[in-house]
Amino acid sequence: KAGVTQTPRYLIKTRGQQVTLSCSPISGHRSVSWYQQTPGQGLQFLFEYFSETQRNKGNFPGRFSGRQFSNSRSEMNVSTLELGDSALYLCASKGWEGEAFFGQGTRLTVV
Amino acid sequence: GNSVTQMEGPVTLSEEAFLTINCTYTATGYPSLFWYVQYPGEGLQLLLKATKADDKGSNKGFEATYRKETTSFHLEKGSVQVSDSAVYFCALSDLLRGQNTGNQFYFGTGTSLTVIP
């Protein structure tokens, strides 16, 4: 069974630009969550989607948004990028025992 | 609220040494507890889990027991190998099983482990 797939693996963007990250969950999983990982703040929850609806949201500004499609694939968008948005963005799909299965992440660098 | 406090690192051990990484939690309700491992440049991999008090999770020689009385979930391994070098994260989830229920994970800050030959 294929794991969680995130694309792209690496991105370099300029301040003020916007970026879209993609996540395909494990087949059959319908819940997708996004996390931001930085050396200073560790792992922080961004949001969770289920059946195309956002169910939970972390404490991030409105520049961070997401969506989920009918095939459970999810995208995350960050607008008006700031240097502090440089991070590893991790997507996870939820297993039947409540565990999270993570993708390899997208490394975003804002210059 | 929910939170996880994890032993500060980094930890450096010799091969075949005993490993303990401490983890305590604060939670409302009845969370599930997890240990994840992250290798350089990779995402998080589930190492083991426990879904209720007194459960013991185990995998690849690692073990952790869900202790409700001490709100702890310490990770242990009897004999570490060089290949165990990684960052370990303790996490809790306000577990709701099944696909159609929401949950959020709360992670500790991570403990970096280096095992030297």
Q: What angle do CA A104, A10, A14 make, to 5 degrees?
A: 140
Kindly report the three-state secondary structure assignment for every residue of chain A: CCCCEEECCEEEECCCCCEEEEEECCCCCCEEEEEEEECCCEEEEEEEEECCEEEEECCCCCCEEEEECCCCCEEEEECCCCHHHCEEEEEEEECCCCCEEECCCEEEEEC
Rounded distance, CA B62 to CA B78, Å?
A: 8
C-alpha B104: how far from chain center: 16
Of the residues A55, A99, A101, the best mutation for testing chain B's interface (the one with the most B CB atoms within 10 Å of its CB) is: A99
Nearest chain B Cα to A30, which residue? B99
Segment A26-53 shows an average pLDDT of: 92
The pLDDT value recorded for residue A82 is 98
Rounded distance, CA B7 to CA B74, Å?
A: 9
The pLDDT value recorded for residue B70 is 95
Res. B30: pLDDT tops 90: no
Q: Within 10 A of B67 (CB to CB), how many other CB atoms are there? A: 17
Res. B36: pLDDT tops 90: yes
Q: Do A94 and B99 touch (CB under 8 A)?
A: yes
Res. B99: pLDDT tops 60: no
Res. A1: pLDDT tops 80: no
Report chain B's mean pLDDT, rounded to a whole number: 91
The pLDDT value recorded for residue B8 is 84
Burial class (CB in 10 A: 0-12, 13-18, 19+), A60: middle
Q: Which of A35, A94, A103 sits opposite B103 (nearest CB)?
A: A94
What's the Rg (C-alpha) of chain B? 14
Q: Is residue B19 within 8 Å of residue B77, measured between CB atoms?
A: yes
Q: Do B95 and A98 touch (CB under 8 A)?
A: yes
Res. A92: pLDDT tops 80: yes
Res. B95: pLDDT tops 60: no
